[in-house]
Structure 1
Amino acid sequence: MFFSFAAAVVFAGALVPLSPAVPLRVRADQVGTGDAKFDYVVIGGGTAGLTIAARLAEFASVAVIEAGGYYETDYGNASVVPLLSLTGIDVIDPSEAFPHRPEIDWELLTEPQTNAGNRRVHYAQGKTLGGSSALNTMSYVRSSASAYQRWADLAGDSSYTFDNLLPYFKKSVRLTPPNLQKRNAVNATPEYDPNSFGSGSPLDVSWNNWVDPTISWLAKSLQAIGLVVNPKGWSSGDLNGGSWVPSTIDPAHATRESSQTSFLDYATGNTQLVVYPHSQATKILFDGTTATGVSVNTDGTVYTLSANKEVILSAGVFHSPQMLMVSGIGPKSTLEANNIPVIADLPGVGQNLRDPISVNVAHFVSTPNAQGIVANPATQPEALRQYQEEAAGPYSSAAGYISYERLTDELRSTLSDSTRAALAALPSDSPEVQFIAGTFLWTNGSAMGSMSATICNTFSRGSVTISSASISDAPVIDLGWFSDPADGDVLVAGLKRSRQAWASEPAQSISLGAEVIPGDSVATDEQLLEFVKANANMIWHPSSTCSMGKEGDKDAVVDSGARVFGVQGLRVVDISIFPFSLPGHPQASVYMIAEKIADAIKKGAQ
């Protein structure tokens, strides 16, 4: 994504978030130290980790091991104020020159991407309670019913169909309807199905309390080229057309809602959950092939947390496969090359990495945007007042408008035969391209509007492996960008479709001059593909490195209950077990899978 952070950062220090007087923190008696025994030990206090830990703690003794601390303390307003999730979180810089924030980011660098200009990509991942739910842009978008049916087919388990998953989606959220008075935008009324949401979960989901004028016009431009408004929004299993995006935002205070502010705070007040912050899980311990606990290092002190029942690994898409491998589970050749005793030869560990990529088309625009308002000394004080006193205004706003579409016949005809065949193998209603309407400031302070195209089905595959037997050495990550030519073909078509949106009357009415990104000189298919490969970036939705599947499948690491093949007492519960990259945004499905597996464990324990 093309963003200028400078304007937001200038004012970030002056902000005082309008939040509850004293955020709930883990009680002194819930902070763990030294050897201990629990029913369940959870490795990773991220999106899935805190969710499943909180649910398991309702009926069992549970410990969570987290390498980071509290992001609100370590990173401040940038991690709390919605607008700053787009403009103030500097660690999402994908370049090798990224700002170093080791207190909240794992600071991972990938291998050179041979099909994308040999770029080494900084892949931000939350090292904090809340994990990447503390750094993301808070979009709450479920996938399509056909995608979950595909998941069910790959796992051999009908409980993964959308209708069967819906109770867990509903359980994991507490919906607040849009505040139309604060939004104050007649053409930006969200459409949604209230029956797709719950009302009792700790996790707040709502819509922005302010609408960016530029995004309103770009939404109209998408509608003008045929991507009509979806009357049920993005939570009913149909990803088709356009919709204003719900977000994980506490609407009463317009602050970020993460797994820490929701599930951890809930567990702190209602269970005996024990948290080990600033602590590194170094290895899963086994008795034969049965997981018995976790070795932990806290500031140089090494101790053991024993699990009477199970170890739950929730370390994320890059660190979960790394933890399995350093603990003796993974491809036999990799383990032996690093002198790691083999507990289970699982070739799929670290394989099948899917990473959706995106590219922008951008113009200077005449309409105001949030970044410009808060960067302007004449308008920033009122924006700050609105935020502090009303939980409204530009600072309260994050996610905007998204559209999904299967490629038009015109664009499909430009694809290669192999790409058309790859798309034809997907469900007939599966969206192929996602369009995100966005806005940012150019380096000279001018307002820009952008239309990004993102592939919904990632055909390229990357991998995660290890360079040593130590968890302290970073995992070796190859994103595999454009290793399958279909991804480049689809992104070129998506870029052309974005240009069609910019050519519509609504977009032309706010556009100031010629296209800036990629520019009119990028015209032929060859030039477009060259631009895509040089400029595409991730949207921070990698998945599938510990894929769910049937025993014996080459990529399968866990079964439909998230149990690791070849061992006992060990599950993986995070985005790494998604069998493929789901269309949509994964946050909603991560919360869901944690709820689902927690429920399965609870039923099995009864």
Structure 2
Amino acid sequence: MARVALLLGLNVLGHCLASPHSYSLLHNRDDAHDVYDYVVVGGGTAGLTVADRLSESGKYTVLAIEYGIIEPDGRRNRTNMYNITSVPQVNLNNRTFPVDVGCIVGGSSAVNAQGFQRGTKRDYNNWAELSGVNDSSWNWDDLQPYFRKAIQLGSGPHPDIARVYNMTYNAGSYGTNTSKHSIFATFSRGHTPAIIPIYQALRGYPGVEIPIDHSVGTLGLAWTPRSMEPISFNRSYSRSGHYDGLNRDNYHLLTATRVEKVVFKGKAAEGVEISPRWPEAHEGKGKGKGKINGKGSGKRVIRARKEIVLSAGAIHTPQILQLSGIGPASLLKQAKIPVIVDLPGVGANLQDHAYQPAVQFNWTTPPPYPEVNTTLPPIEAFLFGPGLNLMLGLPGISPTRYQSLAASYLSQSPSEFLPKHIHPTIIAGYAQQQRLYAAGMLDKNFAFSATGVGALPVAAPQLMHGLSRGTVTLNLSFPLSEPIVDYRFASNPLDLDIVAENIKFYRRFYTGPDSILRQYVDLTLGESQPGKGYQSDEGLKGWLRENLVPSVYHPSGTAAKMAREWGGVVNEGLEVYGVKGLSVVDTSIFPTIPGAATSMTVYAVAEKAADLIKARAVVVVGF
């Protein structure tokens, strides 16, 4: 039910924007030039950001190619979400799960829950360590200028709301560019008075700290903005900030188009092979009639003078690489694809955030809450209310057990819970991650729990740093079909131990001896979910195998920026190892997933990537 409620909440977010009639939108696939300076594969969160930045000087021609089409944002339907289902999850009672990623201009930023979080200092310092070089430019301090360039503060909380709700924020964490062509972080103008008693109870609870906000690299209880325009409060996303209204004659967007593979000349990427998403579209029939652009003839190759940028997301970027002959040689040979580069890490290292259905109690009489002296209306819709998030490290979640959990994890053989017959470089890379995560398990500022706090005695915490690693691989029966996605959640059994500790934390918070809310909870009726029947660790883990969801729509890590000998796929410049003229810019490059919703990090990575790409601006092949 939690998943259904989330999706229903997302559906009501949609607001219809008129489709832009700009010069850059190609209405016929045959209108695309044969050659551009840059070809960006993917018109999503990262792709539109990179395409905007590469084209803004007017010096370079840029084509962005998107499989989805232009549609109103906020709606999830059969045309703007990919139709992918995971393989059965062995450790979750063989259940399968939708792999929800946006299939629309704007990508997942067009359909997500608009949560804007940054992660902690340890998240990004780990990225630098996993690079395998001593002078990595991907640590916390290096990335902060790009967060500020990427995300502008639309507006802070209303003064009346800030006073009553004790809302604080660090304005210096955001940019100050208020032009239309920006991505905005904006605090909601709605409010929910019934949330105040929950806030007050958490504020004084053992182990819960109060940072100024979550942008400063530490955890605790804090108010967060959402990706919203500051005046209209409409969604702020990559299409509104990096495409609509730009009208540049050197920036083209081609939609409803599949990129089947990257075309190489030797080891140099020279172009991409494209085909219509719907073969009948160019005939004005069926799904394509009157609905999409990108009409035109069948397969063709579009070349890039300088660079091809893969921004197709953590599910489709590894698929395109594998289709192009870059990936595990054993897999490519089975698919009868000529091997350009044997890169075992392509499609490995899949990570996501997981969530459980709510830990839920019942009030006897709800706790009292103060009057809010403001003309702004109260609002009950969670996604439009004030964004209150509790983010905790393992010491805060499990103060009596975190050290033993860290020791258990560190004692594991790195290969013990990875796929069988995994390449030695993947094992070596996981050993490095294991070392860093074991240290993170002892750190109060490395997130293992994140909960959007509501006004009811309900908590649905997410696991922010799972220990298992999944895979994305070609479907050998039909390589051009959707890839095979295996989250492999709980393949490392400690994942379930940590989530069980999350449940026990919220049991203590609502009904334990230190709880100031205990007096309002109906202890006779008791816990409605998971329930009184799930008290032991084994009982809780059994309930989780039946109920936990392994994805919060944040797939990451499948073309990781790590040392090649550790299973990495791209280098410090996000260039694919072993070839020239090909880079990756999306959540694929995250070596480890940040302990936060991923969209803000994607924007920052894309801004940094655009600078890296422009700095090298090397001609790969001549035309």
TM-score calculated relative to the size of structure 1: 0.83
CA contact (8 A) 2:168 2:213 kept: yes
Q: 2:470 matched to 1:456?
A: no
Q: Mapping of 1:136-147 within 5 angstroms?
A: 136-147=112-123
Q: 2:69 matched to 1:64?
A: no
Q: 1:280 to 1:424 in 2, by over 3 A?
A: closer
Which segment drifts farther, 562-571 or 392-401?
392-401
Q: 1:532 to 1:219 in 2, by over 3 A?
A: farther
Q: 1:492 to 1:168 in 2, by over 3 A?
A: same
Q: 2:299 matched to 1:302?
A: yes
Which AA in structure 2 matches 1:576?
A: S
Corresponding residue SS for 2:137: helix
Corresponding residue SS for 1:489: helix
Q: 2:400 matched to 1:410?
A: yes
Aligned to 1:515: 527
Aligned to 2:23: 27
CA contact (8 A) 1:435 1:498 kept: no
In the aligned structure 2, how far is the partner of 1:4 from the partner of 1:364?
Answer: 21
In the aligned structure 1, how far is the partner of 2:377 from the partner of 2:269?
Answer: 47
Aligned to 1:491: 499
Which AA in structure 1 matches 2:333?
A: E
> Unpaired segments of 5 or more residues in structure 1?
73-78, 81-88, 92-100, 369-385, 440-446
Q: 1:305 to 1:215 in 2, by over 3 A?
A: farther
Instruction: State the Cα deviation string for residues 67-90 of structure 1 (Å, max 9, x = none).
Output: 111230xxxxxx44xxxxxxxx6x
Instruction: State the Cα deviation string for residues 434-461 of structure 1 (Å, max 9, x = none).
Output: 231355xxxxxxx954212222322101
Q: 1:6 to 1:322 in 2, by over 3 A?
A: closer
Aligned to 2:176: 199
Q: 2:231 matched to 1:252?
A: yes
Cα deviation, residue 28, structure 1: 6.2
In the aligned structure 2, how far is the partner of 1:518 from the partner of 1:272?
Answer: 56
Q: 1:470 to 1:56 in 2, by over 3 A?
A: farther
Which segment drifts farther, 595-604 or 402-411?
402-411
Q: 2:45 matched to 1:47?
A: yes
Q: 2:463 matched to 1:465?
A: no
Aligned to 1:383: none
Q: Which one of 324, 328, 350 corresponds to residue 327 of structure 1?
A: 324
In the aligned structure 1, how far is the partner of 2:157 from the partner of 2:169?
Answer: 14
CA contact (8 A) 1:30 1:272 kept: no
Which segment drifts farther, 511-520 or 492-501?
511-520
Matched residues, number: 547
Cα deviation, residue 496, structure 1: 0.7
Q: 1:471 to 1:187 in 2, by over 3 A?
A: farther
Aligned to 2:146: 168
In the aligned structure 2, how far is the partner of 1:588 from the partner of 1:6?
Answer: 20
In the aligned structure 2, how far is the partner of 1:139 from the partner of 1:601?
Answer: 28
Sequence identity, in percent?
A: 30
Q: 1:52 to 1:470 in 2, by over 3 A?
A: farther
In the aligned structure 1, how far is the partner of 2:445 from the partner of 2:483?
Answer: 33
Aligned to 1:434: 449
Q: Which one of 353, 356, 359 corresponds to residue 353 of structure 2?
A: 356
Aligned to 2:388: 401
Q: 1:433 to 1:286 in 2, by over 3 A?
A: same
In the aligned structure 1, how far is the partner of 2:337 from the partner of 2:609?
Answer: 29
Q: Which one of 257, 280, 284 corresponds to residue 258 of structure 2?
A: 280
Which segment drifts farther, 42-51 or 415-424?
415-424
CA contact (8 A) 1:488 1:529 kept: yes
Corresponding residue SS for 1:50: helix
Which AA in structure 2 matches 1:333?
A: S
Q: 1:7 to 1:174 in 2, by over 3 A?
A: closer
Corresponding residue SS for 1:109: coil
Corresponding residue SS for 1:494: helix
Aligned to 2:557: 544
Cα deviation, residue 597, structure 1: 0.7
Q: Mapping of 1:11-26 within 5 angstroms?
A: 17=15, 22=18, 24-26=20-22
Cα deviation, residue 433, structure 1: 2.4
In the aligned structure 2, how far is the partner of 1:260 from the partner of 1:587?
Answer: 13
In the aligned structure 2, how far is the partner of 1:509 from the partner of 1:203?
Answer: 44
CA contact (8 A) 1:142 1:589 kept: yes
Which AA in structure 1 matches 2:241?
A: S
Corresponding residue SS for 2:214: coil
In the aligned structure 2, how far is the partner of 1:154 from the partner of 1:313?
Answer: 21
Which AA in structure 2 matches 1:43?
A: V
In the aligned structure 2, how far is the partner of 1:462 from the partner of 1:10?
Answer: 27
Cα deviation, residue 144, structure 1: 1.1
In the aligned structure 1, how far is the partner of 2:172 from the partner of 2:261?
Answer: 43
Instruction: State the Cα deviation string for residues 159-182 of structure 1 (Å, max 9, x = none).
Output: 11111111111000110232325x
In the aligned structure 2, how far is the partner of 1:6 from the partner of 1:127?
Answer: 18
In the aligned structure 1, how far is the partner of 2:7 from the partner of 2:300?
Answer: 46
In the aligned structure 1, how far is the partner of 2:599 from the partner of 2:323?
Answer: 27
CA contact (8 A) 1:452 1:498 kept: no
Aligned to 2:539: 527
Aligned to 2:286: none
Which AA in structure 1 matches 2:402?
A: R
Q: Which one of 187, 200, 216 corresponds to residue 220 of structure 1?
A: 200
Cα deviation, residue 516, structure 1: 1.4
Instruction: State the Cα deviation string for residues 457-498 of structure 1 (Å, max 9, x = none).
Output: 221011010113866311001101001122111111111112
> Unpaired segments of 5 or more residues in structure 2?
280-297, 368-374, 412-433, 619-623
Q: 2:167 matched to 1:190?
A: yes
Q: 1:206 to 1:226 in 2, by over 3 A?
A: farther
In the aligned structure 2, how far is the partner of 1:23 from the partner of 1:228?
Answer: 46
Cα deviation, residue 188, structure 1: 2.4
CA contact (8 A) 2:24 2:247 kept: no
In the aligned structure 2, how far is the partner of 1:221 from the partner of 1:556?
Answer: 44
In the aligned structure 1, how far is the partner of 2:299 from the partner of 2:242?
Answer: 28
Q: CA RMSD in A?
A: 3.0
Q: Which one of 84, 88, 102 corresponds to residue 112 of structure 1?
A: 88
Cα deviation, residue 393, structure 1: 4.4
In the aligned structure 2, how far is the partner of 1:573 from the partner of 1:151?
Answer: 15
Corresponding residue SS for 2:564: coil
Corresponding residue SS for 2:215: coil
In the aligned structure 2, how far is the partner of 1:190 from the partner of 1:70?
Answer: 36
CA contact (8 A) 1:357 1:536 kept: yes
Cα deviation, residue 29, structure 1: 6.0
Which segment drifts farther, 507-516 or 583-592?
507-516
Q: Which one of 225, 236, 240 corresponds to residue 261 of structure 1?
A: 240
Aligned to 2:191: 211
Aligned to 1:2: 2
Q: 2:344 matched to 1:347?
A: yes
In the aligned structure 2, how far is the partner of 1:413 from the partner of 1:150?
Answer: 20
Corresponding residue SS for 1:221: helix
Corresponding residue SS for 1:112: coil
Q: Mapping of 1:58-137 within 5 angstroms?
A: 58-59=56-57, 60-72=60-72, 79-80=73-74, 101-137=77-113
